[in-house]
A and B are shown apart, each in its own frame.
Chain A
């Protein structure tokens, strides 16, 4: 193959390659490993999701082993339900302010408020569905939002399991370390409010 045929073939395939752009996926981390890992990565590198989930799991764990076990099921379940709702077409863009979630959860953990187990689980469920919905709104623009939601839910499950188990199994000084962590979350939320009003 010589001459104009080579140029023609090169031009044909070249233009084809240049025009073969993949869909834009704004607002979602792309790992290149597929939508499940994109969902995992988006949750792990987003402190506005990670910090409240860790806080809610710790607070459930502070209530003892029973609330910790229930949180392991309820928090990811409500997250996933929220994600599915957020991914629906024409889902209203209702996003809970980051500062409100961080201050609320951080204050509960820092103060170690002695609430009944049912209220702790209710709090976890509310956090799960609110943040999951927000995550679903963002993931709706991805190539495969359902798998992305599954990936994020798996990450929420792992983080919740670790944090709630650690909080339930500790007492004394380690519990105070968790409370300090809660005060850091609340402090970050207060500053996030400052940025929102800045």
Chain B
């Protein structure tokens, strides 16, 4: 036997040497976060509604501009919680599509309802969005990191809306914002038609 053969045998043995068991070590965490993070970003119906919340908050100004992003994730999580414990919410898809329509109209009309009414409308839609996220967890992912992922993505969509909404301070910006509201509303009508078919 040549020395190279001996080396090959030894290398083969080293490669077969068992290493540490990694049982249960953060299984599915990364995929859970990414799946959760991408979930709101891959559905245009979610995107337009979340951005509309931010735009409307920017139009309404303080305290709605910060109250909406603080309360929305918690109410949305409540919707997800209902889905996880098996409480059905009827017509979730219609509710999601309606959120696009009504929030778009609110931005387009620059509507300024009382704060509690604005919060109630947004909270109602937040439950629909949260419920939809809650029922769509893929198998073999970590529930906690999936939840963190979609909460963070939703929050960042609000931030995008608020960021764009800052153009409200200029007159042309105000017009552009209203046009954007019209576009969002049109998108909502499209998704509403899809929900009924």
Contact = CB atoms under 8 A, between A and B. Distances in A.
Interface stretch (B40-48, B76-84, B185-193): B76-84
A46 B152 CA distance: 16
A110 B78 contact: no
Interface string A154-176: 00000000000000000000001
Contact of B22 (A30, A48, A190): A30
B73 interface: yes
B16 A194 contact: no
Interface string B1-19: 1000110011011101111
Interface residues of A, number: 46
A25 B29 contact: no
B20 interface: yes
B74 A190 contact: yes
Contacts of A18: 13, 16-18
Interface stretch (A8-16, A71-79, A87-95, A129-137): A8-16
Given A176-B66, A179-B70, A180-B70, A195 B19 contact: no
A14 B23 contact: no
A123 interface: no
Nearest to A192: B144
A24 B5 CA distance: 32
Contacts, number: 136
B31 to A, nearest CB: 13
Contacts of B28: none
A167 to B, nearest CB: 15
B35 interface: no
A2 B6 CA distance: 10
Contacts of B144: 47-48, 98, 188, 191-192, 195
A27 B10 contact: no
A29 B24 CA distance: 10
A33 interface: no
A191 to B, nearest CB: 4
A24 B26 contact: no
